[in-house]
Amino acid sequence: MNTQQIALITYKSAGIYTDVSEEENSRLYDLLSQKGLNITLEIWDDPAVDWSKYDVVVLKSPWDYFDKITAFYAWLDKLEQLGVRVLNPTSIVRWNTDKRYLIELQEKGVSVVPSLWLEQGAALNVDELFEKLQADKVILKPAISGGAKNTFALTQAEAQEQAASINNLLQQESFLAQPFVPEVQANGEWSFLFFNGEYSHTVLKTAKAGDFRVQHFFGGTVHTPEPPAHLLQTAHNIVDTYAQGCLYARVDGVEVNGQLVLMELELIEPFLFMATNDGAFERYYEALLEQLQASATSIA
């Protein structure tokens, strides 16, 4: 029997997200408890928690980390100082918090939606941006963000109109700029789910009519088609290279000209769509058990 003390991490809900994510958390917590694991739901920034009593911290849904990024980094530092093992590993989590990682993957030859970096404090040059991206419409999103927060889809004329407000945001944080990918709106966005590097299941997320955001809390819908083998293989290659040692990984991408183009590699707090696939919760448990056994072996 595994005696390690485990914290399953959530966040203090401010009513931003729907009950769908809470339902996944509850089902997972119930399953892991029924399996006999010593697991407790904890809010990551609750000052009353004594983190030293935990052997393992599982980052399930610290949904608001990007709103409190300095505190989040400090919390990760504290867990490291206490010798608490974090899943996913803290080095990978830190790397994944900042969307600059997409630029890094792009430079390493991964097929990524073409991305430009807008540094904090810079002034937005709309004409230059559209010229560099060779796009009729662009997506602007904060470097550290989630849930489509402060994300814009703009034509060149719209960007000119909103340049002042975007420049105000740029004084506060860096942004990523990408061409709008019409295939997302037309065909949807793939999410491939992996546990311990092994493929688990896939969903295809589509936006509601007139929107470009596929998140369920913006009215997006979820489908479960069998993924094309070549798209899945590309997702698997990305996980093999950039998510080693991770309990979970979600590869979000869109099919463009028959190839998977990466939009996000989610390694911190992705919704895992486990209710959409028979056995997904069980596979998560088995993956966690392997990680716990590895921890016990290293301690011994």
Write down the mean pLDDT value for the chain.
91
pLDDT for the residue 146: 77
Distances 12 to 48, 258, 273 between C-alpha atoms, Å? 13, 41, 21
Quick one: pLDDT at residue 14? 57
Q: State the DSSP string of 250-274.
A: EEEEEEETTEEEEEEEE-SS----G
* Cis, peptide link before residue 196, omega less than 30° from 0: no
Q: Same structural domain for residues 209 and 264?
A: yes
Number of structural domains the chain divides into:
3
Domain annotation covers residue 104: no
pLDDT greater than 80 at residue 295: no
**Residue 193 and residue 244 in one domain:** yes
Same domain as 187, residue 176: no
Both 192 and 263 in a single domain? yes
**CATH number, position 142:** 3.30.1490
- The CATH code of the domain that includes 207 is 3.30.470.20
In a domain, 108, yes or no: no
Same domain, 126 and 187: no
- Mapped onto helix, strand or coil, the DSSP state of residue 147 is coil
Q: Same domain for 193 and 170?
A: no
Instruction: Supply 230's token pair.
Output: 């070549």
Q: Which of 180, 198, 220 is the last residue of a domain?
A: 180
Any domain includes 111: no
Q: In terms of domains, do 193 and 251 share one?
A: yes
Mind listing the pLDDT tens digit for each residue in 179-198? 998 888 888 999 999 999 99
Whether 218 is covered by a domain: the verdict is yes
pLDDT in tens, 241-278: 999 999 999 999 999 999 999 999 999 999 999 999 99
How much is the pLDDT for 186?
A: 82
Q: Is residue 106 part of a domain?
A: no
* Average pLDDT for 218-223: 69
pLDDT at 207 over 80: no
Band of pLDDT at residue 150, cut at 50, 70 and 90: confident
d(CA 38, CA 36): 6
The answer to whether position 109 is within a domain reads no
**218 falls in which pLDDT band (50, 70, 90)?**
very low
- 172 and 201 share a domain? no
Range of the structural domain that residue 200 is part of? 183-272
- The pTM score is 0.90
In tens, the pLDDT along 8-46 reads 999 987 555 555 678 899 999 999 999 999 999 999 999
Residue 59, class by beta-carbon neighbours within 10 Å (0-12 exposed, 13-18 middle, 19+ buried)? Answer: buried
Range scoring the smallest mean pLDDT among 13-27, 54-68, 167-181: 13-27
| Cα 286 to Cα 102, 173, 258, distances in angstroms | 30, 39, 33
Confidence of residue 235 (pLDDT cuts 50, 70, 90): very high
Does residue 149 have a pLDDT over 50?
A: yes
* The last residue of a domain, from among 180, 200, 234: 180
Q: Quickly state the pLDDT bin for 220 (edges 50, 70, 90).
A: low
Q: What is the mean pLDDT of residues 220-243?
A: 93
Q: 180, 205, 223 — which closes off a domain?
A: 180
Residue at 101 is within a domain: no
Q: 56 lies in a domain?
A: yes
